[in-house]
Amino acid sequence: LGDEMKSDKARTKKQKRLMKQAARDAVFAKVEAASKIEDPLAFFPLFKKYDRNGLNLQIECKRVLSLNSSTVDWAYELTRDNMMYFYTQVDWVWNDKEKMEQFKDERAFYLLAYDANSTPVAFCLFRFSVDYGNEVIYWLVSSWIQFKNPVALS
Query: What does the pLDDT average to over 65-93?
Result: 89
In which domain, by residue range, is 120 found? 38-153
Q: How many helices (H) and strands (E) does the chain have?
A: 3, 5
Pair (25, 48) in one structural domain: no
Q: Are 116 and 18 in contact (CB under 8 A)?
A: no
Q: Is the pTM value of this prediction over 0.95?
A: no
Pair (10, 44) in one structural domain: no
2 falls in which pLDDT band (50, 70, 90)? low
Pair (30, 11) in one structural domain: yes
Pair (100, 61) in one structural domain: yes
Residue 36 has pLDDT above 80, yes or no: yes
2's CB contacts (< 8 A; 6+ apart) are none
Phi, psi of 125 (to 5 degrees): -110, 125
Pair (98, 53) in one structural domain: yes
Domain count of the chain? 2
| Cβ neighbour number for residue 103 with a 10 Å cutoff | 19
Pair (91, 24) in one structural domain: no
Pair (28, 87) in one structural domain: no
Looking at the DSSP assignment, which residues form a beta bridge with residue 64?
none
